[in-house]
Amino acid sequence: MRIDEDKWAACDREFTEYLATHQDTPDRWMILQALLTSPTWKALFGMVNLEERWHILDAGCGYGALALALAGQMSLEITAVDENVRYLQVGEYIAGSLENKGYFAGGSKVSFEAGDIYALPPGEANYDFAIVRFVYQHLSDPHRATASLAEVVRQGGYCMVIDIDDQMSITYPEPSDAYSKLHEAFTALQEANGGDRYVGRKLSSYLSQGGFDIQMTLILPQAQHVTTERNDSSRLFTLERLRAAREDILEAGLMSQQDFDTCMEIITLEQPGEQFQSNAQVVVLARKP
């Protein structure tokens, strides 16, 4: 896909403006995550061949950041599905705003639909390409999700799954004790909910066992120099994501309220030092035979 840089930037700008003007957006970290990792998706889709007018499924789309970025690039019919209706409503709002600016590539359409990745509507078994980004790490039954995807992708169609593997993260200098404690509780919470922050290495097996032929596996690296600015986007993302998990971490008894709040205060107030951070996502492209 030939990337139109201006269009890609226009989509990121729309999400950035939305965040700035809607302070009460739930799980703001998800939009920050999409923005922070946007350059990696731009690079990835520069290497992927999508065809005009393909019917694309974005499963577990969240706010639809990826679906909307792609719909600006070429004529695609994208169905963006998520179980959380609040995210879909925001996605629809942003899509409307982009539409008013004449953003979409000729004929492109993004429809937001409520749905469960474990039970994708079988009537729509005609997707040319399914994308599942940062969703498998939250799933307690990845095999069932893969079977569900295999039902709705057409024969000869593709499924691209992208996710993290925490063992591929490096931070220098090491994060503070307060941050490490919070991150440990956050990881334990995700595991307690059936998730897996080491899912990246398992994706190709899940897809292969689900009947797909693996076409490509790659690592999408990202490195950043975190600055001393308080509003550094990587730092904001970390704080927002931990804040959003507070109630669940406390409820699961993974940290006491006092401990959590003290650690948050420390990392919020600590003089942010410069830091090198790198992480990587695993990308698996598979074809339904």
Ligand X SMILES: C[S@@+](CC[C@H](N)C(=O)[O-])C[C@H]1O[C@@H](n2cnc3c(N)ncnc32)[C@H](O)[C@@H]1O
- The residues binding ligand X (CB under 6 A) are 30, 34, 60-62, 65-66, 82-84, 87, 116-118, 133-135, 138
Backbone angles phi, psi at 173, to 5 degrees: -65, 165
Q: How far is the CB of 18 from ligand X (least distance, A)?
A: 14
Closest residue by Cα to residue 109 from 61, 54, 157: 54
Nearest distance from C-beta of residue 267 to ligand X, angstroms? 21
In the complex, the smallest distance separating the C-beta of residue 118 from ligand X, rounded to whole angstroms, is 6
Shortest CB 228 distance to ligand X, Å? 28
Rank residues 7 and 138 by Cβ distance to ligand X and give the closer one: 138
Structure-token pair, residue 18: 């939305």
Question: Residue 275 or residue 281: which is nearer to ligand X going by CB?
Answer: 281
Minimum distance from residue 133 beta carbon to ligand X (Å): 4
C-beta closer to ligand X: residue 77 or 113: 113
Query: Of 34 and 282, which has the nearer Cβ to ligand X?
Result: 34
Tell me which residue has its CB nearest to ligand X: 62
In terms of CB distance, is 3 or 178 closer to ligand X? Answer: 3
**Smallest separation (angstroms) from ligand X to the CB of 79:** 12
Please compute, for residue 81, the number of CA atoms within 13 A of its CA located in the half-sphere on the CB side.
20
Nearest distance from C-beta of residue 117 to ligand X, angstroms: 4
CA trace torsion 275, 233, 243, 24 (10° rounding) = 170
CB nearer to ligand X: pick between 66 and 199: 66
| Residue length of the chain | 289
Question: H or E element: which one contains 129?
Answer: strand 127-133
Burial 104-117 (b: 16+ CB within 10 A, else e): beeebebebeebeb
Cis peptide before 122 (omega within 30 of 0): no
Q: Which is nearer to ligand X, 18 or 118 (CB)?
A: 118
